[in-house]
Structure 1
Amino acid sequence: MTEPLLRVRDLRVTAPSAEIVRGLSFDVARGEMLAVVGESGAGKSLTARAILGLVPPGMRVSGSVRLDGLELAGAPQRRYRQVRGRRVAFVPQDALSVLSPVHTVGDQLALAARSVRRLSRKAAWECAVAALERVGIPDAARRARAYPHEFSGGMRQRVVIAMATVNDPALVIADEPTTALDPVVQAMILRMLADLREQSGLAVLLVTHDLAVAAAHAERVLVMYAGRQVESGPVKRVLRQPRAPYTGGLIASLPRREAVERRLPVIAGSPPRPGALPPGCAFEPRCPAATHACQALDPQPYDVGDGHLVACHRLGELPGPVTALFQGSA
C-alpha cells in the first residue's frame, strides 16, 4: 500500500489541567480531502494546530505526526519552519488574522514565495499574480496592488488560500475556512479548493462543523467528540449508514425540506469540559442507547469493514438506524 501523506498516531494535546485531544489516529492520502467534524469543543481545531506545531503556549503535544515520513510531533520549531509553507500550509477561519492591513496582497504573496524560494522581486511578484489568478481573483495583476480591506470576505478568503498554495504544498489544513461566508460564497470557495486538488494533487484536511460540506466535498470523514475519534471512514458510508449513536445524532439534527413544520431532533445536553469528562465513554451521559457498561471503559475504534471505524460499546447490538435513537427528542 502507498504510504499516506499524513500519518497521525495516538495524538494527544495536553493542557496544564486536562488532556484535550486524547489518542487520535488517522491518515490523509495524497490528493484526498478528509473532513474532521463534530460539535464545538470536540478538539477539531486544536488537532489541526497540533499537526502544524501551532498549539497555544503551555500545551504539550505527544504521539506521532509524520508528514511524508518526517516526524513532527515533539520536533523543535526549526523543523516545523522547514515544512510550514513548503510541504504543509494553513488556512484559518478569519482571513484578516493572517493578512497585514498595511501591505498589499501582492506584496504579502510575493514575500511568502520569497521566504521559501530564491526568487527575484520580479519573479516573486509574477508568482503572486499567478497565485491570485489560480484562485479566481479577476484582474489579478491590478488587484494584487490592493489592500486586504479593499476585498470582500469571500475574496479575502481566496487571497489566504492563494497565500497557502503559492509554494505548491502537498497538504493544506483548512480550519472552518467558510464559516463567516454566505452559502453562495461558501460553495465557490469549496469548489475552488476542489479545482486546486484536481490541478495539483493537493491533499486537504478540512475542519468543519457542517456535515453537508463534508458530504459534498470530502472522500473520508472523521467524527470527533470530547477529543476522541467516534467514527471515521468513507464519507458516503459513514453519513448514510452511521453506526455510532453520536454520529446518528448529528445526522438526525440536520434540517430537512420534508420536515419544515416539525421541530428538529436534538442531542440532549452539552459536550463535557475537557477537565470534567465522565468515566467510560464521554458521550454516555447524552446517549439514549447507553448502558452501565458504557460507564466503565472508553470504547476503542473497531473496523466494521471498508476502513469504517466505530468506537461504541453497543456496536452490533442496536436495531435499525442509529439516527432513530434521536427521533423522539424533537
Structure 2
Amino acid sequence: MTGPEPLLAGRSGMTGTEPLLAVRDLRVTGRDTELVRGLSFEVNRGEMLAVVGESGAGKSLTARAVLGLLPPGLRASGSVRLDGQELCGAPQRLYQRVRGRLVAFVPQDALSVLSPVHTVGDQIALAARSVRRLSRGAAMERAVAALDRAGIPDAARRARAYPHEFSGGMRQRVVIAMATVNDPALVIADEPTTALDPLVQDRVLRMLGELRERSGAAVLLVTHDLAVAAAHAERVLVMYAGRLAESGPVGEVLSHPRAPYTGGLVASARMTGRRLPSIGGSPPSAGALPPGCAFAPRCPAAADACRAREPQPYEAGDGRLAACHRLGELPDPVTELFEES
C-alpha cells in the first residue's frame, strides 16, 4: 500500500490573498511532551474557522498559543503570523500591543475575565482605553455602544450594573462586547457557548456573525459541537491528539468526511439504525502516544502501515486535507465504518 502523495512541507492547501492568521508547524511542549504536534492552518480575513475534536485534542492550547497565553511550564515553537507579524517567540510587550487591537479572546467562562467589583461599563471602557487614547467619557460611550451591539437592552443603564446582575448568557454577551470594543481583526472564541441553553447559544453565535459583517473580523471558534460548526463556520479544522485529522470547507468535511476520525465524530453526532454510533476507546494521553497513527488503536480501518508511521496531511481534493494513509481505499462515506448496518 503506497498511499496518496503527502502534502509538501510549507504548503497550506489554500490559495488567494495572504491570510490574516498563518500558523505553521505549531508545537506546544511541556516537560518533554508535545501536546500540539506540528499543526498548520490559516484563517482568512472575514471568515470563521471552527476547530473541533474531542477533549484533549489540543484545541484550546492551540488558541492560547496563538494568543501567547499558554499556562506556565508550556512553550510554543513554530510560526504564528498575524497580519504579517511573527508572534511565536515574540516578547510579551509585542503580544500586549496586538491583544485587543488586532486579536481578542472570548473565553468559555465569562466570570473568569469579569471583575465582580467593577461595573461592566467600566470594564469595557478600560479595555477601550487600553488601546485607544480616549477620555473616560468617550470610552464609556464606546462601551455603551458595544453593549448595545451585543444585544444588551437599555445598554446605558445596564452599563452601570455589576456582572452578578446579569444572567449567564448576558454575561457572555458582555465579554464579547469587551473583546470587540476595539474592532479587532481576529476574535478567538474558546467554547464560548458551552454552558448556555440552545436559544442563548444561537444569539451569542449570531453576535459573532454580525461582528464579521460589520467590521470584516475573522473568527477562530473552538467548539466540540459539530452542529455549531456546521451552522456558523465556513471552514473546519478537525484535531486529534494534537494534530490535524482533516480540514476544509465545513459543508464538505462534515457531510462527506474523508478521515476515519472525522467520520467517527460525524457518525457519533447522529442517530442511525437502532443505536447511536460511537468511537470505541479513548483518546491517548500526550505522554503515551501509540506508534504510527495516534488514531489507529480506535480505527476500524487501521492497517499495518497505520501502526508503523504517522500520516502527514494529504491533499483530499476541493481544498481539503486529511491525515490518513488509506485515503481512496475506505468506504464512501467513511461514516459507514462506525454505523450499524
TM-score for the superposition, normalised by structure 1 = 0.97
Flag structure 1 segments of 5+ consecutive residues without an equivalent: none
Counterpart of 1:20?
35
Counterpart of 1:309?
321
Q: Distance in 1 between matches of 2:101 and 2:170?
A: 23
Counterpart of 1:269?
281
Query: Is it true that 1:7 corresponds to 2:19 in the alignment?
Result: no
Q: Distance in 2 between matches of 1:168 and 1:251?
A: 34
Q: Distance in 2 between matches of 1:119 and 1:237?
A: 46
Q: Distance in 1 between matches of 2:252 and 2:278?
A: 22
Query: Is it true that 1:136 corresponds to 2:151 in the alignment?
Result: yes
SS in 2 for 1:266: coil
Counterpart of 1:244?
259
Q: Distance in 2 between matches of 1:303 and 1:137?
A: 45
SS in 1 for 2:81: strand
Q: What amino acid does structure 1 have at the position aligned with 2:278?
A: V
Deviations 1:7-47 (A, max 9, x none): 00000000114100000000000000000000000000000
Q: What's the offset of the Cα at 1:114? A: 0.7
Q: Distance in 2 between matches of 1:304 and 1:270?
A: 26
Counterpart of 2:139?
124
Q: Distance in 1 between matches of 2:251 and 2:270?
A: 18
Query: Is it true that 1:202 corresponds to 2:217 in the alignment?
Result: yes
Deviations 1:26-85 (A, max 9, x none): 000000000000000000000000000000111110000000000000111111001001
Query: Is it true that 1:235 corresponds to 2:250 in the alignment?
Result: yes
Q: What's the offset of the Cα at 1:272? A: 0.2
Counterpart of 1:47?
62
Flag structure 2 segments of 5+ consecutive residues without an equivalent: 1-15
Query: Is it true that 1:187 corresponds to 2:202 in the alignment?
Result: yes
Q: What amino acid does structure 2 have at the position aligned with 1:295?
A: R
Q: Distance in 2 between matches of 1:252 and 1:128?
A: 43
Percent identity among equivalent residues? 81
Q: What amino acid does structure 2 have at the position aligned with 1:188?
A: R
Q: What's the offset of the Cα at 1:269? A: 0.2
Which one of 272, 294, 297 corresponds to residue 309 of structure 2?
297
* Structure 1 stretches of 4+ moved >6 Å: none
SS in 2 for 1:12: strand
TM-score for the superposition, normalised by structure 2 = 0.94
Q: What's the offset of the Cα at 1:196? A: 1.2
Query: Is it true that 1:172 corresponds to 2:172 in the alignment?
Result: no
What's the RMSD between the two structures over aligned residues? 1.0
Alignment check: 8 A CA contact 2:246 2:259 kept: yes
Q: What's the offset of the Cα at 1:255? A: 3.2
Q: How many residue pairs were aligned?
A: 326
Q: What's the offset of the Cα at 1:199? A: 1.0
Alignment check: 8 A CA contact 2:105 2:189 kept: yes
Q: What amino acid does structure 2 have at the position aligned with 1:235?
A: V
Q: What amino acid does structure 2 have at the position aligned with 1:222?
A: L
Counterpart of 1:278?
290
Counterpart of 1:84?
99
